[in-house]
Every structure is written in structure tokens, then in C-alpha cells.
Structure 1
Amino acid sequence: MSSETLKSIFETRESQVRSYCRSFDTVFTKASGSEMTNTDGKTYIDFLAGCSSLNYGHNDPDMKQALVDHILGDGIAHGLDMYTDTKAQFLQAYEDIILKPRGMSHKIMMTGPTGTNAVEAAIKLARKVTGRRNIISFTNAFHGMTMGALSLTGNAGKRAGSGNSNAGLTGVTHMPYDGAFGDGVDTLEHLRMMLTNPSSGIDAPAAFIFEPIQGEGGLNAASQDWIEGIGKLAKELGALVIVDDIQSGCGRSGTYFGFEGMDIDPDMITQAKSLSGFGLPFAALLIKPELDIWKPAEHNGTFRGNTHAFVTARVALEKFWKNDSFQQELADKALILTAGLQAVADEVHGAKLKGRGLMQGVDVGSGELASDICARCFENGLIIETSGAHDEVVKVLAPLTTPTKTFQTGLEILLDATRSATAQHKIAAE
């Protein structure tokens, strides 16, 4: 059955809230590695990777085999938060491969299966621990779509989904992220002044929450000085630091966590997206042991921990993070990505590179141009999306495992699309 025939049911029965399908208007049937195939047999290079939920690509063979073996062996499919062998094996792998080598002692809280639930848990716990209510979030932030997480999110369109009054989006002060006013303004100093001035009108914060690299906000990458400064300021004020590493984590920034190599010791870290390694819903909150003051079931849910995801997540850790070889591969690919995106930026007057690691893109200065570039990419077999306050950034989130040749082919499609879109926009402007 063709894509056109199948699409009628979506138009008839699926809610208008659907979004990605409007940019990628075809019906996909299978995927492997860094490629997706539709019902008509056309294959696309995937530079979206489930918004960084598929950092290790589609259907990794080792994760797939482990999951199939688990299912065929009648392994536990759903266990609430009961003890299971698969949970124990995942926790042991996470401790041995991720936490211990980094000198981290954080507890792991299994939350509901999406990143927004991990954020909800973090802000609830910050308020419970400190007895304060105010959370400091930042411009262009995206932390989720449930009410607590949405209160931290800056995007007006996303916030509008809560209703016209935004009455539930309270208890948060939004401050300028690093570089929000350009290179000449120190937003950290601005933040310090506002929070140390007893007449600023801003309540003492329970916590600061930030993304090391703002994914939906336009690939704004905070500097090491700024990130470390937030950590120091939080300590001075008796506030907690929550690092939202949902999109920038699991290797996307070039290291497992987006803040590695920096002098900051987060009190809490949110994890989701590629935590399962296989695209299965799985989120967790890392908590310093002394902050783990929850009473049983104070933050619970039917799907706390995905048992199938424990299987694939463990394999992902063992396969990619037991030594430094994968991280070195990421560094090499980041150079390829930077060079490819610089060629794209050179085609657009005033364009600039954004992000770092394997979370980079090009700010082409216009949402209309960026959308046109992405549409032309899709026509030519590349799935890629925009981000930023005005959708002005063409964002690359290719699987970290993308073969170099495929990576370069995708970048060539992007470059060709940029040239044709730019030429068309110049003609239209004349």
C-alpha cells in the first residue's frame, strides 16, 4: 500500500497536534542504522534521530538481539518499581561504567518514561529539600510539556498549549542564558546582581536548571565559565543545580554528560531520550544521596522504569562506554560536522555555527530560509529539522554511530539544499 493511501487515516483520525509528520510527509516502514525507508521503498538519511532519542541509530543489532532474547525467554515485561534482574543489571552497569569512573555517587530515581517527568521530579524535590519555591530557568529553554516543566520552558508557542492565561505556569523566574544579549554582555554577572540584591523582586531560588546546549532553543552552547559560574552562584545562595541533560546527554555533546571536564558538581541530572539506547521510553533523575529525602511513592507512576529499556540500556553502556574509543570517534565526527556546516554557513550571508560536539547546526538568520532548506533536504533524501526562537537554525542530530561516508553524503545534501534555497530567496528578494 502506498504512502498516499495510508496517510488518509492520519488525516481522518489523528489529532491536529501532530507535528513532525507535517515536515516529513510520508509513511515510514523500517529503519536501520542512520537510514529510514518509506512504503514506496525510498530511503532517507536520518539527521534527526528521534530528536536525539536514537543516538546509537535505529535497531542496533546487539540491543535488538538482547531484547528479543529477553522477550522470548518470558522476561519481565512490566514491573512497576519492583525489583527485577534486568533493573539490577542496568543499575550495576550504570554504576560501573558511568558513575564510578566519573567519581559520582548519585542515586538513580526511576521516573515516568519521558524527560518531562524527570524534570517534574527534579523541581518537586528541589522545592522539598530547600523549602523554597522559585526556580531559575533561562531564555530559550525547553524542559518539557507538562505543567511544571512547561513553566520552565521559554517558547511562547509551547506555553500557549496550557491555555490563554498561563495561570499554572508559576514559581519560575526566567533569566538570560549565556550569550543571550550577544558577546558583549555577561549574563552571569547580571544574574548575580539580580539575585544578591534584596530589592530585585526575585525570590531566593530553590534551584537553577539549565541545558548545557539548548536543543529546541537554537543550539545555544553555554561556555565553561558560565556553567561553572552557575554552580558557584548556586552554592553561595544555598540553591541546587539541576542539569537538564536529556537532549545533550548520552554522548550527544561529545562526552556522556554535557558538562564533563567542567568544574561543576550538579545536585541533580535529568536523563531520557537516548538513555534506553533503542528508542524505548525511559527517563531517570540522578540525585545526590543526601538529597534523596523522598518518602515511598511521593513521586510515582505506573511506568517507573521500562523493563525492556533496562535490557537495551545496559547493552548500550557496555557496547559504547566501557572505554574511550567511542568518545574519540565522536570527537573525530564532530570535526567532520563542523567542517561540513561551515561550508553551509559560507553560502548564507551572516550565517553562523551553533552548538558543539554532535549537536551542531547553522543559524541562517531566517525561519523561512531554514524551513525551505530542510524541505529541500527531505525532497532529496535527508531528514533534518529546525530549531531556535524563530526556527532559524538548521539542526543536525545524526545518530552518533553514522558511518563517515553516510555522514558526508548527508552534509552534501544539506549543502546543495542550502545553495538552491539561498539562490531562490535571492531571486524572490530582487
Structure 2
Amino acid sequence: MRIFENLESEVRGYIRSFPTIFEKAKGALLYDEQGEKYIDFFAGAGTLNYGHNNDKISEALIEYLKNDGVVHGLDLATTAKKNFLQKFSDTILAPRNLEYKIQFTGPTGTNAVETAIKIARMVKGRSNIVSFTNGYHGLTMGALALTGNAFYRDEAYISRSNVSFMPYDGYFGDDVNTIDYLRKFLDDPSSGLDLPAAIILETVQAEGGVNVASSQWLRDLEQLCRDYDILLIVDDIQVGNGRTGEFFSFEEAGINPDIITMSKAIGGGLPLALVLLKPELDQWKPGEHTGTFRGNNLAFVASAVALEYWDNDDLSQAVKSKSEVLRNRLEEIAEKYPDANASVRGRGLVYGLELPEKNFASEVSTKCFEKGLIIELAGALDQIVKFLPPLTIKEDVLKEGLDIIDESIGEILQEKKERLTGEF
């Protein structure tokens, strides 16, 4: 690992949690240079919904390159882009009766968020944006202003202007309806809340702690936006692309956002980000918002193949089935170890196991890595063990990973008990 310590920036993060050199990957498995196997419950932070080196995607990419397909084309028309647009329209938009224009941005999710808030401000002629407590929307300047976690925010470099934070669903517990709270601020001309151009949210706050908004809360938020002429932006970068069981995370609630940001798994494992916006909002002048890597032809090829998973509801049903396995086992683990004070929450194949004792979740992640499982943390205090396996993970591999979680928690609690016993 010395070359990484000597040459790579101190900003590197995940390498510190999982200190080995990975060489190969397939499906839901990673292998390091020593041939050690690791089950992947991280999936590139939700990028690898279809698994590592998916055979169909890899074959399509190899064939495209062998035929000298265009790799870089700015926003020129290419066969790869044409095929992606047609596939996305036919498979995703049309069956859901959704009408959106598709804008390709820079290659990562934060680029999509920057684009979404820029067009919202331009169309509405207002600059304020409402974001929510525990929200995570990226780390470039505009997106960072929307991100709540203090770890990422510093007076030296953050631009806090024109963003207002409001409480997410359940932030005050079950006794406070946070939509009513927000409505009160909007109704009061002396509240200090400027009428926003848009409200942006994740329907499941993955990085923020796997906080799940109820369908009713989402419908009430949509109605509030309509009542006050505010655009509704759904950030579906991590929990879209089938992560919650449906392709879009908001489908269950039956809402129709004005703007949707997408990245991560939409590229089939390759860099791709896009913004879906209602046609009347597409008020850009040609070339008014650009980027050298807006659109990625290899990702178009990969994505068009990945979208074939949505030609029927087989994957959706599989996610829902595996979601039951995941939830049931996590609840069993929480009940099995009462000393952990664990709680479970999530949807589809994004789940969180909250372990409130300081550093306990971190210890679990470390112990899991030693036993051959890659799993990361979430929440403001890194108190959530976050489950984000590929959607295509085989059920026996999912259960094997859950066994490692069970064993790791049990061993850590036993070690704590032995240390306490030794002190007396």
C-alpha cells in the first residue's frame, strides 16, 4: 500500500476503510491481489446496481470498441447516444407516462445537481433553494451548499448563500408534521425564508443515515410545491435506478417531480449523469451550460444494455424479495443483540442498521472487512451500517454477507464484555 501513501492525496477515503489492493471483481464479489474474496455490500456507493463486470454489459462494450465506436463526442449526435435515448424513452419514460427532456451533464452526480439548481433558478427568477436536514447532494460548490453534514462544510470554502434547510420527514419524531412546519414558514412573510425556486430532496437519504420519507409526506410535499409555485427536484442519484424496487424511488408515492437528477447506476458502472426536466423548463440557450464530458458514449452503450433489466418486472420483484430477506435478518440481528440497541430502517436494497454507541458501527465495518465483507457507514455520526449490495446479488451471497454481520456484532460485544470482566 506504500505507493498510495507516497503518491496519492490525503483526501483518499475508502482505501483507509478497506486497506487492500483489489485486482478483480465479478457480480457481488471482489478479489484482492492475494486472491482473498470479499462480498460487496457497498457496490460503488450504488453505482454497481447490476454488479461488477456484468457479462452483457462487458460484451457490448468490447464489441463497441472493436468496431471503433465513438468514445468521445462532446454533445455530438452519435449512434450510442441515439440508442440510449430511444431505449430510455421506450423502457423507462413511456410505460410510466412520464414526459421529460434529457440533459447530459458532466460525468458525476454533483454535476447533475449543479445543473438542476441552475436551471430552476433561471426559470423561476428566484435564487433560494430549500434542502433538508441530513441531505447529501454532492461536494462541488452549489451542491455542497445543499449538503447538510458538517464534516463537508467549512466557512473557508463553502458558499452558504441562497440555501435554506428545513426538517426532513421524521426529524422531530412522529409528533411533528414537517410539511406543516415548512408551510408555516412559507405563509409567514416575516419568517426569513425567501420563497424558493425549488425544493430538492432524496426520497431515501442514503448518506444521511438511510432516512426514509413516507409516501404521504412526499405527496404532501409535492402539493406544497404546487401551491407555492415551487419546483420539486428529486435527487435519485443513489436511490434511483431500481435501488428501492421500482426504477425511480418516488414511483411508490405516485408523485411527478419537475426535475430528476440521476447518476451512479444509470451508467451501467461507467461515469454518466443526467437531468430529467419537464419540457417547459428546458429554457437553455444552445451551449449555455456545457462540459467536456457531458455524456459518455461508452456509458450510453452500457446503460442501454442495463436498461434491458427493466423490459419486464423480474428485477423489480427480485429486489423486493431480497429486501424482505434483508429486513427480516437485520431485525433478527437487532433482537438477538439487545445490548447493541440496534434499529433497522430502509427500502428495497438500501438499508441501515443503526448502532448508536460511539464507534460501534465503525468497529463492525472493520470486523466485517477482516471476515471478507465490504460494508460502509452512513449518518451524521457514522452510526449507521449501510447495506447497499448490487441489485443482482444472489440470495445465498446476500445471506452469507448477513452471516458475517451477525458474527461481527456478536464477537465485538463479546470482546467488550470480556474487557469489562477483566477490569473487575
TM-score (norm 2): 0.97
Tell me which of 114, 119, 125 is aligned to 1:120. 114
Give the corresponding residue for 2:271.
281
Change in 2 beyond 3 A, CA 1:293/1:378 = same
Give the corresponding residue for 1:4.
none
Change in 2 beyond 3 A, CA 1:154/1:334 = same
Tell me which of 263, 278, 287 is aligned to 1:297. 287
> What is the number of equivalent residue pairs in this alignment?
419
Give the corresponding residue for 2:12.
18
Q: Percent identity?
A: 49
Give the corresponding residue for 2:141.
147
Within 5 Å, which residues of 2 pair with 1:106-117?
106-117=100-111
Q: Is 1:384 aligned to 2:375, yes or no? A: yes
Match of 1:261, SS?
Answer: helix
Change in 2 beyond 3 A, CA 1:428/1:240 = farther
Give the corresponding residue for 2:246.
255
- 1:198-229: per-residue Cα shift (whole Å, max 9, x none)? 11011001000000000110000000111111
Give the corresponding residue for 1:206.
197
Match of 2:252, SS?
Answer: coil
CA distance in 2, matches of 1:258, 1:219: 13
Change in 2 beyond 3 A, CA 1:362/1:348 = farther
Q: Is 1:373 aligned to 2:364, yes or no? A: yes
Give 1:428 shift: 4.8
CA distance in 1, matches of 2:7, 2:388: 30
**Contact 1:345–1:352 (CA under 8 A) maintained in structure 2:** yes
Runs of 4+ in structure 1 over 4 Å off? 426-430
Tell me which of 55, 61, 71 is aligned to 1:61. 55
Give the corresponding residue for 1:228.
219
Tell me which of 200, 210, 228 is aligned to 1:219. 210
**Contact 2:350–2:388 (CA under 8 A) maintained in structure 1:** yes
Which amino acid is 2:61 matched to? L
Change in 2 beyond 3 A, CA 1:366/1:298 = farther
CA distance in 2, matches of 1:264, 1:66: 34
Give the corresponding residue for 1:3.
none
Which amino acid is 1:266 matched to? P
Q: Which runs of 5+ in 1 are unaligned?
A: 1-6
Give the corresponding residue for 1:330.
319
Change in 2 beyond 3 A, CA 1:167/1:333 = closer
CA distance in 2, matches of 1:197, 1:62: 55
CA distance in 1, matches of 2:227, 2:278: 18
Give the corresponding residue for 1:310.
300
**Contact 2:197–2:231 (CA under 8 A) maintained in structure 1:** yes
CA distance in 1, matches of 2:260, 2:118: 14
Change in 2 beyond 3 A, CA 1:166/1:183 = farther
CA distance in 2, matches of 1:429, 1:297: 65
Change in 2 beyond 3 A, CA 1:348/1:148 = farther
Give 1:169 shift: 2.6
Give the corresponding residue for 1:89.
83
Within 5 Å, which residues of 2 pair with 1:185-196?
185-196=176-187
Indicate the larger mover: 116-125 or 182-191.
Answer: 182-191
Give 1:188 shift: 1.3
- 1:2-38: per-residue Cα shift (whole Å, max 9, x none)? xxxxx11100010000000000000000100000000
Change in 2 beyond 3 A, CA 1:428/1:293 = farther
Change in 2 beyond 3 A, CA 1:197/1:106 = same
Give 1:263 shift: 3.2
Match of 2:344, SS?
Answer: strand
Change in 2 beyond 3 A, CA 1:167/1:150 = closer
Indicate the larger mover: 359-368 or 135-144.
Answer: 359-368
Change in 2 beyond 3 A, CA 1:198/1:82 = same
CA distance in 2, matches of 1:415, 1:225: 34
**Contact 1:367–1:393 (CA under 8 A) maintained in structure 2:** no
- 1:342-396: per-residue Cα shift (whole Å, max 9, x none)? 1222224432112111001211113400000110000000000110010111110
**Contact 1:369–1:422 (CA under 8 A) maintained in structure 2:** no
CA distance in 2, matches of 1:418, 1:224: 33
Give 1:425 shift: 3.4
Give the corresponding residue for 1:343.
332
Give 1:159 shift: 1.5
Match of 1:218, SS?
Answer: coil
**Contact 1:133–1:171 (CA under 8 A) maintained in structure 2:** yes
CA distance in 1, matches of 2:121, 2:417: 52
**Contact 1:343–1:415 (CA under 8 A) maintained in structure 2:** no
- What RMSD, in angstroms, separates the aligned Cα atoms of the two structures? 1.1
Give the corresponding residue for 1:358.
349
Match of 1:378, SS?
Answer: helix
Match of 1:26, SS?
Answer: coil
**Contact 1:366–1:391 (CA under 8 A) maintained in structure 2:** no
Which amino acid is 1:291 matched to? L
Tell me which of 138, 163, 166 is aligned to 1:172. 163
